[in-house]
Amino acid sequence: MKIGVLALQGAFIEHISVLQSLGVESVEVRLPGELKDLDGLIIPGGESTTITRLVDLFQLREPLFTLASDSFPIFGTCAGMIVLAGEAVNGSVNSMGVLDIKVKRNAFGRQVDSFQVDLEVPVLGKEPFPAVFIRAPYIEKMGRDVQLLARLKDGPVVAARQGKILVTSFHPELTRDNRFHRYFLDIVKGKG
């Protein structure tokens, strides 16, 4: 199995470390040719305006869209979720529109822009997941084909899945808990 990690900007090294610790081969993706022979792709957190601009500059938009439309497994975290969204509000991001969700960027305001919570994620088991939020978005609206995986106690949806595309508002690569990565790898293996 080989997983690509979009390495244009943001927290891609952290995702590669998690994959390494799980014994999974990974490759940094910056060019369209590097999308070949992959079994899945991670789009990391960072700054979605920058990532989408670089996606266009490196001519990755069309091949990524084609892969996503063809049941290719993709895991988007934080800015990665915004990049994949159908619509992103709060600042102008030209998101890719592969996922039927509307996200609100920087949704938790400036006062509380970073925090950690123990999040109930039923698909990961009983143990709550330590979710690290950094200037995070949340999902404001989602289509019928989107499965809700987790929401905060006061309501906002922060993890979801549509087919083989998985998204989280938070950064699972910044904690020691690798269950979200393992869940994604199960999707890649066709077991999830």
Q: What does the binding site for ligand GLN look like in residue numbers (CB under 6 A)?
A: 45-48, 78-79, 82, 105-106, 134-135
Q: Active site includes 78?
A: yes
Q: What CA–CA distance (Å, rounded) separates 7 from 19?
A: 14
Closest distance between ligand GLN and the C-beta of residue 190, in Å? 28
CA distances from 90 to 15, 48, 104, 137 (A): 26, 12, 6, 10
CB 95 within 8 A of CB 52: yes
Q: Active site includes 173?
A: yes
Which of 14, 15, 173, 181 is labelled catalytic?
173
Closest distance between ligand GLN and the C-beta of residue 1, in Å? 25
Closest distance between ligand GLN and the C-beta of residue 59, in Å? 21
Closest to ligand GLN by CB, 64 vs 82, is 82
Q: Active site includes 25?
A: no
Which of 78, 120, 140, 181 is labelled catalytic?
78
CB 171 within 8 A of CB 18: no
Closest to ligand GLN by CB, 39 vs 50, is 50
CA distances from 136 to 26, 29, 61, 157 (A): 26, 24, 23, 12
Closest to ligand GLN by CB, 162 vs 173, is 173
Closest distance between ligand GLN and the C-beta of residue 61, in Å? 17
- The set of residues, in sequence order, having a beta carbon less than 8 Å from that of 75 and lying 6+ positions away, is 40, 41, 42, 43, 165, 166, 167, 180, 181, 184
Closest to ligand GLN by CB, 15 vs 105, is 105
- The set of residues, in sequence order, having a beta carbon less than 8 Å from that of 139 and lying 6+ positions away, is 81, 101, 102, 103, 156, 157, 158, 160, 167, 169
- The set of catalytic residues is 78, 171, 173
